[in-house]
A and B are shown apart, each in its own frame.
Chain A
Amino acid sequence: MLLIECPWCGERAETEFSYGGEAGIARPPDPDVLSDAEWADYLFNRSNPRGAHRELWNHAQGCRRWFGVERDTVTYRIAGSFRLSDGSDNREG
């Protein structure tokens, strides 16, 4: 089980969190100007890297806030957590 650090609550067991997938995917500001392929890329395509991965987690059984985690998808080692409101990520915190 992963030990995940919530930026607000500290280190907690993985079972307190729910997973939100790849971080840093910004909703296009004006979807109407996108082609179908560009919209599909935003909606469905993912980088799914083998290695370092920046991803979203929600502290569902705690403070219920979203934050980011950088984690290796092969070793599962967590490099650290980050707040989305730092501007280091495009989704709202």
Chain B
Amino acid sequence: MKKYSAFSLIRNALSHNRKWREAWRSPEPKSDYDVIIVGGGGHGLATAYYLAKEHGIRNVAVLEKGWIGGGNTGRNTTIVRSNYLWTEASLLYEQSMKLWEGLSQDLNYNVMFSQRGVYNLGHTLQDMRDIERRVNANRLNGIDAEVVNAEQVGKAIPFINTSPDARYPILGASLQRRAGVARHDAVAWGFARAADARGVDIIEQCEVTGINREGDKVTGVETTRGTINAPRVGVVVAGNASVLAAMAGLRLPIESHPLQAFVSEPLKPVIDTVIMSNAVHGYISQSDKGELVIGAGIDAYNGYGQRGSFHTIEHTMQAIIELFPVLSRVRMLRQWGGIVDVCPDACPIISKTPVGGLYFNCGWGTGGFKATPGSGWAFAHTIAQDRPHELNAPFDLERFTTGALIDEHGAAAVAH
């Protein structure tokens, strides 16, 4: 891998940018690997990267049915934060946050991680009590968090409507200053390039159609490009987790829903932070290109169609205009949907399964992007050691049998 640097920029500029090498190879799949990762999204690529980097397992294939960055990794609203309520969840997301903070250097790829802060607004007294509780829980876990009042919100975010006469007046917010956004495509490309450089085969246009077993051990997968064998298979396919689980004869506590997002026409800089509101239910930030990046809640019904219903769009726009009346005449440029895998407790599953050598990483629901490095890091550990790291041990499949759920609904700063 050619290292990217200021010098390489200048050198390639002098040759009219015609000599850039491909960022990762496009190898033919081999018949055998040590580990197969199903799913070439951010989480899958991060898993492969940390398998190679932290555990020395380089004979790894990442199988992607489409192209790298074409699924949820390229469809989210790029928010990164770690201010979850429960200790189990906040430590996992904080591990991810720490990896984000060094990720561009680690990958030698600018993921444009921008710690511009995230405000989670409170609109009722109960919202504010929940915010204070969550902020205190975060601080006890060593995670930066503070409570701000409506005046401070109004000062920090000039165009937000903090009028006490608003339909849902803003009473205050939690603020995590280390939170922010990252460039989602760059995260996928950066992990792909860095994993490839360590020997990982990234195989695009290769859909898994079956999971092969011998007794209760996994032996590999059937794909649209033939049989590929491996004693260990890690599945991290977001919305399609139940489909892959069914191939192995497993049932998961997951339902797939469409989650829509939008960008506006590009504007001059107007919002320099991230604002989320649980009560009116919308979230917004502004990309470096000037587009407002907007999201909200899932469509209620089960769906795999990567699109949702129009009234969900309307609901989202109502929320954004409630917060920012100044944006009422902004036109939306694009709208799309991704398929999110929602767990009953709004927490992920990073777990071994009853099938030996088969691992699942799923259930991230509406909030997986922020966890990309931490999820891959923990999943790589689980696969390499055949046991979870202590950070992801609480997130095993067994919790639905034992009842040790980690209920992040609503408490996770925005409804899922």
CA distance A21 to B125 in the complex (A): 32
Task: Choose among B251, B304, B310 the residue that contacts A46 (Cβ–Cβ < 8 A).
Answer: B251
At the interface, yes or no: B401 with Cβ under 8 Å from chain A?
A: yes
**Any B CB within 8 A of the CB of A30:** no
Verify A19–B301 contact, CB threshold 8 A. Answer: yes
A21 — which chain B residues lie within 8 A by C-beta? Answer: 255, 302
In A35-61, which residues have CB < 8 Å from any B CB? 36-37, 40-41, 43-50, 53, 55
CA distance A53 to B240 in the complex (A): 15
Cross-chain contact of A48 among B254, B305, B309, B400 (Cβ < 8 A): B254
CB contacts (< 8 Å) of B311 on chain A: these are 1, 14-15
Residues of chain A lying within 8 A (CB to CB) of residue B344: 44
Determine the distance from Cα of A15 to Cα of B301 in the docked complex, in whole angstroms: 12
Instruction: Name which of A49, A55, A75 has the most chain B CB atoms within 10 A of its CB.
Output: A49
In the bound complex, what is the Cα–Cα distance between A14 and B303 (angstroms)?
Answer: 14
- Chain B nearest CB, measured from A84 CB (Å): 18
Report the Cα distance A14→B401, complex, angstroms: 35
User: Do the beta carbons of A45 and B253 come within 8 Å of each other?
Assistant: yes
Are B252 and A36 in touch, CB under 8 angstroms?
no
Q: Which of B231-263 contact A (CB under 8 A)?
A: 240, 242-243, 246, 251-256
Measured between beta carbons, the chain A residues less than 8 angstroms from B246 are: 47, 49
Q: Collect the chain B residues with CB atoms within 8 Å of residue A43's CB.
A: 400
Contacts of B309 in A (CB 8 A): 1-2, 14
Are A44 and B304 within 8 A (Cβ)? Answer: no
Give the chain A neighbours of B400 by CB distance below 8 A: 40, 43-45
Known contacts A47-B242, A48-B255; A55/B305 CB under 8 A = no
A88 interface residue, CB < 8 Å from B?
Answer: no
Known: A41-B251, A47-B251, A48-B242. A73 touches B402 (CB 8 A): no
The 0/1 profile, CB within 8 Å of A marked 1, for residues 309-343 of chain B is: 11100000000000000000000000000000000
Does B267 sit at the interface, judged by CB under 8 A?
A: no
Is A76 on the interface with B (CB-CB < 8 A)?
yes
Residue among B303, B344, B403 with the most chain A CB within 10 A?
A: B303
Please state if B254 and A55 are interface contacts (CB–CB under 8 Å). Answer: no
Complex Cα gap A22–B255 (Å): 9
Q: Which residue of B lies closest to A36 (CB)?
A: B401
The docked-state distance in angstroms from the alpha carbon of A68 to that of B252 is: 23
Q: Given known contacts A14-B309, A19-B301, A36-B402, what 16 new A-B pairs fall within 8 Å (CB)?
A: A1-B311, A15-B311, A21-B302, A36-B403, A40-B253, A40-B400, A44-B400, A45-B251, A45-B252, A45-B400, A46-B242, A46-B251, A46-B253, A48-B256, A49-B242, A49-B243
Q: Which 3 A-B pairs have the closest CB atoms?
A: A44-B253, A48-B242, A19-B300
Residue contacts A-B, CB under 8 angstroms, 20 given: A1-B309, A1-B310, A15-B311, A21-B255, A22-B302, A36-B403, A40-B253, A40-B401, A46-B255, A47-B246, A47-B251, A49-B242, A50-B240, A50-B242, A71-B301, A73-B303, A73-B304, A74-B303, A75-B305, A76-B303
